[in-house]
Amino acid sequence: MISLLAVLSCRERALQPQLTPATDRPATPELSGPHVVLRPTGHPAVTVRVEVARTHDSRMQGLMNRTQLGANDGMIFVFPESEQQTFWMRNTFLPLDMIFIKSDRRVLGVVHNATPMTDDPRQVEGVSQYVLEVNAGFAARHHIDAGTAVEFVHIPPANN
């Protein structure tokens, strides 16, 4: 018969972070849902868990009426084609960085610290097919700028 203490001890060990042999640091868990990996040149890659806005209605709703967003969370807007994208902050309570991404998965440009609750248009010059919205300050903190490589994981195409 297995004692309750032995079962609890095994359970406790299972809940502890697994260490990687090379670094003795906790291993980063694999994200199973949609996420974006940004790879700025000369700086560490950063992963953002995202909600995907791929329909017209979900793109129009965006992050409106949200009162919080996790430090490494965001929303990726997926458009059917590359074109000049223009965004606004109507009913958006959080200041955001808007990262415009070209169809080749490179950052076109960033709108930093977009002021909430306005209909002022926000865009960068050129055409993009994706826009990643994250908390204001994220892009500067992680050195995200034009040319940064972007990887999409579990991101479906636009559904008009």
pLDDT of residue 24: 38
| Contact yes or no for 86/106 (Cβ under 8 A) | no
Q: Which residues pair with 77 in a beta bridge?
A: 53, 131
Looking at the domain assignment, is residue 18 inside a domain? no
pLDDT of residue 44: 98
Looking at the domain assignment, is residue 5 inside a domain? no
Side-by-side strand order, sheet with 149-153: 107-114, 96-101, 128-135, 73-83, 46-53, 35-39, 149-153
**If residue 15 lies in a helix (H) or strand (E), which one and from where to where?**
helix 4-15
Is the model more confident about 43 or about 31?
Answer: 43
**How many structural domains is the chain composed of?**
1
Looking at the domain assignment, is residue 28 inside a domain? no
Exposed, middle or buried by CB within 10 Å (0-12, 13-18, 19+), for 122?
Answer: middle
Q: What is the pTM of this model?
A: 0.81
The tens digit of pLDDT for each residue in 63-100 reads 999 999 999 999 999 999 999 999 999 999 999 999 99
Tell me which residue range forms the domain holding 59: 34-153
Mean pLDDT of all residues in 42-50? 98
The tens digit of pLDDT for each residue in 94-142 reads 999 999 999 999 999 999 999 999 999 999 999 999 999 999 999 999 9
| Mean pLDDT of the residues in the chain | 86
| Contact yes or no for 155/122 (Cβ under 8 A) | no
Location of structure tokens 């559904």: 159
Location of structure tokens 């055409």: 127
What CATH number is attached to the domain comprising 98?
2.60.120.1140
